[in-house]
Amino acid sequence: MNREPITTSASRVRQVEAIANGTVIDHIPAEVTLAVARLLTTTDDQVFIGMNLRSTRIGRKGVVKISGRELDVQAAAALALIAPSATICIIRNYEVVGKNQIPIPEVFADVAACANPNCVTNHERWPTRFLVIDRNPLQVRCHYCERAFAADELTLLR
């Protein structure tokens, strides 16, 4: 006997379990879902990861739910480099209390390594600093060597 739930166009099937409190990163491009999970979580976190889920907005997407924790500014900045189109939802008592696009800062400070092997930050202990020069697609310029890079050319420091 088939025991799958019967759904109509008006009803929805939840694809990922709800959390009581924490952060949900939604609309992650499917190919970077695991990179987002590695970036934002520790071995002590309770994490739910959904990959290649259906999305009317982007076709296939990823979702990462982190129970019991909200992201800090540094983590959100790093997330903006690898998934700038994602959204962050803050969950409290099973309710969404805030839902926003990933904030793209004007400056990424000490989030990624410069892709220029000759940059001073790759030879001396200087914190990296990238200025945003274009938001779509995301491009940045190194403050020190002044070279421009697409966000996916950079390696995160975390």
Domains by residue range for the chain, with CATH: 22-101 (3.30.70.140), 107-156 (2.30.30.20)
Contact 17, 48 (CB under 8 A): yes
Q: 80 pLDDT exceeds 80?
A: yes
pLDDT at residue 15 in the model: 55
Q: 141 pLDDT exceeds 90?
A: yes
Q: 34 pLDDT exceeds 70?
A: yes
The reported pTM is 0.75
Please write the tens of the pLDDT for every residue from 38-69.
888 888 888 898 888 887 877 889 999 999 98
Find residue 112's DSSP bridge partners: 156
| Peptide linkage before 137 cis (omega within 30 of 0) | yes
CB-based contacts of 139: which residues, under 8 Å, 6+ apart? Answer: 132, 133, 148, 149, 150, 151
Contact 145, 158 (CB under 8 A): no
Q: Determine the average pLDDT of the residues in 116-134.
A: 95
pLDDT at residue 74 in the model: 81
Q: 82 pLDDT exceeds 60?
A: yes
Q: Residues 13, 70, 49, 156: is their CA dihedral positive or negative?
A: positive
pLDDT at residue 3 in the model: 47
